[in-house]
Amino acid sequence: MQLVKTVVKAQAQVFTLTEKFDDQAWRQFARLIDGYAIAQELGFDLMTWGETQETAYRQSGIRHLNILELRLMLFYEFRADYMSGYTYHERDHLVDSLLAVLSKATDQPYQRI
């Protein structure tokens, strides 16, 4: 699939989720969009917004996000993990929760870790 950089193209993009958590598959999926460009188009800084969303989720255990926002959060988690220098498993539980919510929102199967 081709990288998309606009809201319209991201919303039109057809995708299939991995059916279970896969370390490489979620990263490939996260990179289908340019989260920085899309966030800018929507009028916010991705990393600031993502941190706010992550904090809200940690406090409530609930994600109130639409499909595009869930995809932006996956991109955020990918970038945050990369920039933090952690091993590739420090954020797995956050990614798993995003994939689970995204699977429900898109009516695609996903088995949580």
Please give the mean pLDDT across all residues of the chain: 93
Between CA 101 and CA 86 the distance in angstroms is 24
Over residues 54-108, the pLDDT tens digits come to 999 999 999 999 999 999 999 999 998 776 666 667 788 999 999 999 999 999 9
Q: Report pLDDT for 33.
A: 98
Between CA 81 and CA 6 the distance in angstroms is 23
Every domain of the chain and the residues it spans: 7-106
Note whether 53 and 22 are within 8 A (CB). Answer: no
Over residues 18-50, the pLDDT tens digits come to 999 998 899 999 999 999 999 999 999 999 999
Between CA 17 and CA 41 the distance in angstroms is 25
